[in-house]
Structure 1
């Protein structure tokens, strides 16, 4: 299946990507990098700060406070081209006719959009954005976790979501995280997010972590799980040097770079893109796409 083509990042997106990767950049440096006047950069920075995507600090600009997540609609446009490349690679990895659990976050949402190219899927999710991406497909059966809805993110977390994931054993679990520490700890912003995510990973045959490089070193307050517990990690570029040892062993398999080739520290980048694994799926059921609330209680 040919990879989806994405439009070149806008100037604002390039600005966001640079500052997200660096953490802090001075106004004069930004003006030099983008070959514009400091006044022009200040106008663009002020516009992005008003949207909550950046924050002004003395001498320059930084990302928002890292112990609080930015609004979902704003995260949807951050690093969008990278997320779309990751999603296309994950869709190549997932075969037709399998079962998939998909978690919360904007990168899993992009994966759901890419999975429209697959057929005969059974999808379990706690993310209404995933449901919206896949609804209307007669050969994709959707199960949505019941429970209290987080209206700002349109998802269900905590024990309600965990009960849903615990009721299934999927071929694949696709999830994102708020951040990754240098020791490999997986981080999120709320305990309920971790509870739901760990239930997904505990109840799948193969776990796929999807993230862009801004998540390396990003602080979030709740720790749950380790990158070594994951089968595959899909990322848009090489992790920072301090994270290389996390991928030195056989697990997880790291899919990295513009074409998201399979990479290991010993073998290097192998040609051919992301590997595809066949499964004994047989779990997809053909029929009208529908949302099934499996929860009898949300307490």
Structure 2
């Protein structure tokens, strides 16, 4: 009898060589139930080896999902500048929702000295950043932990969100496009982000310029307008134009003056 570990290794090999593989095909091949295959796929997904799609699994291949630890050092200065700008938007007394990811984690760090805030998050790094910050109440969304992203996802987190609303929601992204929205490696994570966006009066996507216009995975978060893309000054002008043409507000942050907008007025000042 094939062990669970050997079965998952074979599933990964099949997905890598054959591409999309359905749950039904895998169930028949290994003579196990569909629910067993779905658990295998969930584990492979959590390890960042496969990106799940409806009814099957798609091998990530040349675009593996980087772990949170790996992403922290990427585009470090750009993420810090974006985080500083985002922190400047937060007002005392607000209730805000912070997504997972390295850029939103940098925002959590920037908020450590703020007071009179309520922060809700599914992300372990944000909890760690704000755990000892006086004046900040931290609410955690529970659920199933995705080890690769260090965030909680699933029905428990989704159910908690249905009972909350927020002044501002800050979302991270593996990539983002003007037409399809946020690109992620995992369907459960996209579902949670969609719910997050619906619960906020103002929604921001924090994405450094390297993420604009890319499509590394096959799971998407469609965002209802209006929402604001916050990126850095290296953003391609054509990409910025595409987002603006689609009705997205774009804030381009300069590295030399992190809280300054790249050519657009601050929304708080403009309102």
TM-score, normalised on structure 1?
0.63
Aligned position for 1:196:
192
Aligned position for 1:295:
none
Q: Which of 137, 151, 154 is the matching residue for 1:155? A: 151
- CA deviations on 1:215-270 (whole Å, 9 max, x unpaired) are 113322101214x635222111253244212214764242333335445xxxxx14
Aligned position for 1:82:
78
Deviates more, 1:207-216 or 1:235-244: 235-244
Q: Distance in 2 between matches of 1:237 and 1:66?
A: 28
Larger relative contact order (CA 8 Å, sep ≥ 6): 1
Map residues 169-188 of structure 1 onto 2, 5 A cutoff. 169-181=165-177, 183-188=179-184
Aligned position for 2:253:
256
- CA deviations on 1:39-71 (whole Å, 9 max, x unpaired) are xxxxxxxxxxxxxxxxxxxxxxxxx96532112
8 Å CA contact retained: 1:95, 1:278: no
Q: 1:270 to 1:178 in 2, by over 3 A?
A: closer
Post-superposition shift, 1:97? Answer: 1.2
Aligned position for 2:235:
239
Aligned position for 2:66:
70
8 Å CA contact retained: 1:186, 1:223: yes
Q: Secondary structure at the match of 1:89?
A: helix
Q: Secondary structure at the match of 1:133?
A: helix
- CA deviations on 1:115-159 (whole Å, 9 max, x unpaired) are 113211111110011010111123111111111222333210132
Is 2:235 aligned against 1:220? Answer: no
Aligned position for 2:93:
97
Number of residue pairs aligned between Structure 1 and Structure 2: 208
Q: Secondary structure at the match of 2:150?
A: coil
Post-superposition shift, 1:182? Answer: 5.3
- The structure where helix makes up a greater share of residues is 2
8 Å CA contact retained: 1:66, 1:220: no
Deviates more, 1:142-151 or 1:228-237: 228-237
Q: 1:230 to 1:191 in 2, by over 3 A?
A: farther
Q: Which runs of 5+ in 1 are unaligned?
A: 1-63, 264-268, 280-299
Post-superposition shift, 1:162? Answer: 1.8
8 Å CA contact retained: 1:247, 1:254: no
Q: Distance in 1 between matches of 2:95 and 2:135?
A: 12
Q: Secondary structure at the match of 2:92?
A: coil
Q: 1:90 to 1:221 in 2, by over 3 A?
A: same
Aligned position for 1:38:
none
Q: 1:261 to 1:137 in 2, by over 3 A?
A: closer
Map residues 30-45 of structure 1 onto 2, 5 A cutoff. none
Q: Which of 119, 130, 134 is the matching residue for 1:123? A: 119
Q: Distance in 1 between matches of 2:152 and 2:131?
A: 18
Q: 1:153 to 1:79 in 2, by over 3 A?
A: same
Deviates more, 1:69-78 or 1:149-158: 149-158
Q: 1:101 to 1:182 in 2, by over 3 A?
A: closer
Q: Which runs of 5+ in 2 are unaligned?
A: 1-59
